[in-house]
């Protein structure tokens, strides 16, 4: 496609653009301190934060097993195992919610819930379930951030919660641990002191600068990005267990740069922009032939990271959308660990039909129309099958 076409704004990146919108001093809800409690601990990555919290739970509360969704990145599975906790799997439903009838709780069990793509799971229901069965609720908030203006806040209901702010903001790394139980909080091992950042963090920063440069030139940066090595993607592979053990034995130091940027961003503007794009995009795509939205309306308190869709052939749709400059992706993709898909039909359905559209940009009416047109063209006529729509 000609350069002039890209200058119309069709390159829609999944990652937040490297644009620092500093919070105004007269907007307290824009500040970092309004999002997370003062005791939140910054780690180099979210997986190290999760492991630290689970180890404290195991020592202080006798946590032995943790129920985790079968649809998940293998790095979460590794963090659970690194905490000497046994992972067991449950299934997810058509709206990405936990299918609690696939959980068989026992003494010493905990439940991990994932707020997929920044869409809040039904935390009140899950918390009541955990209290009934004597389980600790752990919130995986890697795809979202809390909304200080909402009565429902990600990470506020569980015993502990972990966040990965780079999914929502222009930072190259960092993972947060929030422990809501003050007694348990004292038992958590402190993260290493902040430093310059490890090689992966600096590599992500370099990639963000490349993406920003491509956007400024009006180029489809995906043509370059898709040929670059992927930084810090945890792929299930032989020999990875030994590598992971070494990594957890000496976790890298968190980046002081990340901490500094987090405290300066205008978080209220980020939250408002992502919600606005979600509403626009979901409203325009809801009802498009061959497209099913698991969440046409984002649940209260959600700060969406991406818009999830279900189509008959997501691999082909992703290829076509990326050629048009839209950074569509499948998740967990190559990071999904092996599961018996027949045992977890909800997981199987998402892995077979799920894809995500980015939200980290603004939508003019013209750009929205082009995105909708690109999605309609990416979904083949043969893919508009009754099988997909019946399963919804």
- Express each pLDDT in 362-387 by its tens digit: 889 999 999 999 999 999 755 455 45
User: pLDDT category, 7, cuts 50, 70, 90?
Assistant: very low
Q: What's residue 390's pLDDT?
A: 47
User: pLDDT category, 389, cuts 50, 70, 90?
Assistant: very low
Distance (Å, whole) CA 46 – CA 44: 7
The strand pair at 136-141 and 65-69 is best described as unpaired
To which residue do tokens 């205008």 refer?
A: 266
Is residue 220's pLDDT more than 80? no
- Residue 305 carries which DSSP code? S
Average pLDDT over residues 330-358: 95
1 burial level (CB within 10 Å; 0-12, 13-18, 19+): exposed
Domain locations in the chain as residue ranges: 3-17+265-391, 32-185
Q: What's residue 6's pLDDT?
A: 34
Q: What's residue 2's pLDDT?
A: 29
Contact indicator for 75, 240 with CB cutoff of 8 Å: no
Select 32-185's CATH number: 3.40.640.10, 3.30.43.10, 3.30.1330.30, 3.40.50.2300: 3.40.640.10
Max Cα–Cα distance, the chain, nearest Å: 62
Report percent pLDDT > 70 for the chain. 84
Is residue 207's pLDDT more than 90? no
User: pLDDT category, 208, cuts 50, 70, 90?
Assistant: confident
Q: What's residue 386's pLDDT?
A: 44
Is residue 242's pLDDT more than 70? no
More confident residue, 265 or 224: 265
More confident residue, 4 or 261: 261
Token duo for residue 123: 């935390």
User: pLDDT category, 30, cuts 50, 70, 90?
Assistant: confident
Could you check whether 3-17+265-391 and 32-185 share the same CATH topology? no
The domain made up of 3-17+265-391 is a member of CATH 3.90.1150.10? yes
Closest CA to 391 of 294, 296, 285, 289: 294
Average pLDDT over residues 2-11: 40
How many other β-carbons are positioned within 10 Å of the β-carbon of residue 151? 8
Q: What's residue 135's pLDDT?
A: 98
pTM > 0.85: yes or no: yes
User: pLDDT category, 200, cuts 50, 70, 90?
Assistant: confident
Q: What's residue 16's pLDDT?
A: 65
């Amino acid at each position: 496609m000609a350069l002039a076409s890209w200058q119309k704004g069709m390159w829609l990146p999944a990652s937040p653009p490297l644009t620092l919108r500093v919070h105004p001093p007269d907007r307290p809800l824009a500040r970092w301190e309004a999002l997370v409690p003062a005791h939140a601990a910054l780690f180099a990555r979210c997986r190290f934060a999760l492991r630290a919290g689970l180890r404290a739970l195991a020592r202080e509360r006798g946590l032995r097993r943790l129920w985790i969704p079968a649809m998940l990145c293998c790095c979460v599975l590794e963090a659970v195992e690194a905490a000497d906790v046994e992972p067991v799997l449950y299934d997810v439903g058509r709206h990405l919610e936990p299918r609690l009838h696939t959980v068989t709780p026992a003494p010493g069990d905990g439940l991990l819930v994932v707020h997929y793509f920044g869409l809040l799971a039904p935390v009140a229901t899950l918390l009541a379930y955990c209290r009934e069965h004597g389980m600790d609720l752990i919130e995986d908030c890697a795809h979202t951030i809390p909304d200080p203006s909402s009565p429902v806040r990600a990470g506020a209901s569980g015993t502990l919660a972990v966040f990965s702010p780079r999914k929502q903001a222009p930072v190259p790394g960092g993972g947060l641990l929030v422990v809501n139980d003050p007694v348990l909080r004292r038992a958590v091992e402190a993260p290493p002191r902040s430093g310059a950042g490890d090689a992966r963090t600096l590599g992500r920063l370099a990639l963000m600068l490349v993406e920003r440069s491509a956007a400024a030139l009006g180029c489809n940066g995906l043509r370059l990005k898709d040929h670059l090595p992927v930084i810090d993607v945890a792929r299930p592979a032989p020999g990875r267990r030994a590598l992971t053990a070494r990594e957890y034995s000496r976790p890298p130091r968190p980046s002081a740069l990340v901490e500094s940027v987090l405290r300066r961003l205008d978080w209220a503007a980020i939250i408002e922009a992502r919600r606005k794009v979600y509403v626009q995009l979901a409203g325009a795509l809801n009802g498009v032939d061959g497209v099913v939205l698991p969440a046409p309306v984002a649940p209260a308190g959600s700060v969406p990271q991406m818009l999830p869709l279900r189509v008959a052939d997501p691999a082909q749709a992703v290829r076509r959308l990326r050629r048009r400059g839209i950074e569509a992706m499948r998740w967990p993709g190559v990071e999904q660990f092996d599961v018996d898909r027949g045992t977890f039909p909800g997981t199987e359905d998402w892995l077979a039909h799920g894809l995500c559209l980015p939200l980290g940009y603004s939508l003019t009416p013209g750009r929205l129309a082009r995105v909708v047109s690109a999605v309609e063209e990416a979904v083949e006529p043969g893919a508009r099958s009754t099988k997909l729509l019946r399963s919804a």
